[in-house]
Structure 1
Amino acid sequence: MPESPEVQVLVESLGERLTGRTVRAVDVLEFRTVKTRTAPPATLVGRTFTGATRHGKHLALAVDDDSHLVISLGRHGWVRWLAHEEDLPDDAPPALAEVRLDAGEGFAVTDAGAWVSLGLFVVDDPMAVPAIAKLGPDPAGDAYSMSDFDVALGGRRKQVKAILQEQESIAGIGNAYSDEILHAARVSPVVHAAALDEEARARLFEATISTVRGAISARRGIPIDRLKAAKVDAMRVHGRAGEACPVCGDTVRDFAFASTTAQYCPTCQTAGALL
């Protein structure tokens, strides 16, 4: 699943390439992706891109009539840059839409999933997209504070891993980075927020900030089509079940719950207990 560090770098790269460029053609190959039927992506033809911003895991590409193409990447969506009249390579996930610019360059919106979770919106304001309007504060932003984090956690009897992934509470974090944050903070993925003491909450806040912002810094300069692979390579515990913990050397374990999985280190996070 795309998460805020990679999406942030994707947005920055697209903003640099798209700003000042005019849309020559839009080809929607999977019409289930179009969520604004009265303003389909084809209405962008002839418009000029003016910038790009990120909202959680969503991209908003602004054009010169003050409207925006919002791309909600869903579970397996991504954007691939296309050089002059270039097509996607054969081993790439299928394109659900393509946008071509004035000089023949452009981008493809792809989805590697078995079902379509990606969405395309043309709106006057990104806040018109329901998922964006509901987003909580974003820990990638400089203004994010411990008070924002305390509001998200509250005294809730809910597992902290689930709260970290709850977009209405904390924007931009998914399954992978929640595992990384919990490992860095030495917090169990199944502990409830209400059970955390002040020290554990502080560790979790610092780990959230350092993990998200550190990953953004680490990904800058990596080509768009390598960002997902770079994310996988950088994981310390997520996806590393059976491997040695890089901190203590214990074996990283899998834990399945609520239709998802977590990877954790028993020594670092659960006082040796196996979940």
Structure 2
Amino acid sequence: MPELPEVEALAGFLTGRMTGHTVGRVMPVAVSVLKTYDPPLDALVGRTVTAVGRRGKFLVFTTDDGDGPHLAVHLARGGWLRWKDDLPTLPPRPGKGPLALRLLLAEPEGAGFDLTEAGTQKRLAVYCVRDPQDVPGIARLGPDPLDPAFTREAFAALLTGERRRIKGVLRDQGVIAGVGNAYSDEVLHAAKMSPYALAANLSDEDVSRLYQALRTTLEDAVERSRGLAAGELKGEKKTGLRVHGRAGEPCPVCGDTIREVSFSDSSLQYCPTCQTGGKPLADRRMSRLLK
């Protein structure tokens, strides 16, 4: 799933290709992709793209300096944006392929992007709205961790009274915008903290260490992705991850074997030596298999 660093890089990539250009056509292909109907997608046609930005994990395209409709895109788990300079100008045929929506600029001819989605669970979401706050997922977003106003004190206030495990708190978009499963694993590894630690029980030192790891991990990932083409971002993300998706490999810090805990629809990875005092966390799925 694209998270804050990849969406930030996508916004920068698209800014240089779309800002100042007019929308020529917007063609939905998958029925499930469009989540709004007023204003219609056709309201974007003829509008000038004046900004491409990020709200949490959402890409937001602004037209006519905000006087026109906004296009908001959430790529979800299996979605991606593919930019091309030579897309077919004829409407694509609906089918069983991954293509969900195509947007073409009025000029240069053929320039634009496809939104695609892999897998059987179709969660890619597109909204055409008058204001980005009309998108429910944007309206409920917590503070952005890269915002200068997101201080250590602001972060500590978010954790006050939180009785949940810190892994879940970091992933909650209503608490902190933009961090998902992968970067929460990376942040916790950098902070040398167990994903099962209760947020409300963290000491002042723990909070400071976690805050620094959050900012540094995200800032480093954004910097690595800066200037990359859309098609290179997935590879960069995977290369840059130190523990997430690397179960069975040696920890790059201590050399211990990276472990995994699996859930019904996701998993987390961690280093026992760095994060849990050498103790493996219980994996209920594996426990059931061993019975």
TM-score range (shorter-chain normalised) is over 0.9
Amino acid at match of 1:101: L
Q: For residues 53 and 269 of structure 1, what CA distance do their matches in structure 2 show?
A: 35
By how many angstroms is 1:189 displaced? 0.6
- Structure-1 residue corresponding to 2:68: 66
105-114 or 50-59, larger mean C-alpha shift: 105-114
Gaps of 5+ in 2: 282-291
Amino acid at match of 2:75: L
Alignment of 1:163-242 (within 5 A): 163-242=169-248
Amino acid at match of 1:27: M
What TM-score does the superposition give when structure 1 sets the normalisation length? Answer: 0.94
Q: For residues 87 and 195 of structure 2, what CA distance do their matches in structure 1 show?
A: 47
CA contact (8 A) 1:137 1:148 kept: no
Alignment of 1:22-33 (within 5 A): 22-33=22-33
By how many angstroms is 1:72 displaced? 1.6
Q: For residues 186 and 258 of structure 1, what CA distance do their matches in structure 2 show?
A: 25
Aligned pair partner of 1:108 in 106, 114, 129:
114
CA contact (8 A) 1:69 1:120 kept: yes
- Structure-1 residue corresponding to 2:150: 144
Q: Percent identity?
A: 45
Amino acid at match of 2:103: V
User: Per-residue displacement from partner, 1:181-210 (whole Å, max 9, x unpaired)?
Assistant: 000000001111122111111110100000
- Structure-2 residue corresponding to 1:17: 17
Q: For residues 36 and 278 of structure 2, what CA distance do their matches in structure 1 show?
A: 51
Q: For residues 85 and 59 of structure 1, what CA distance do their matches in structure 2 show?
A: 21
By how many angstroms is 1:119 displaced? 1.2
Q: For residues 215 and 169 of structure 1, what CA distance do their matches in structure 2 show?
A: 21
Q: For residues 267 and 162 of structure 1, what CA distance do their matches in structure 2 show?
A: 21
- Which 4+ runs in 1 deviate beyond 3 A? 85-88
What TM-score does the superposition give when structure 2 sets the normalisation length? Answer: 0.89
CA RMSD of the aligned region, Å? 1.6
CA contact (8 A) 1:34 1:40 kept: no
Amino acid at match of 2:123: S
User: Per-residue displacement from partner, 1:57-76 (whole Å, max 9, x unpaired)?
Assistant: 00110111432011122222
How many residues end up aligned between the 2 structures?
Answer: 271
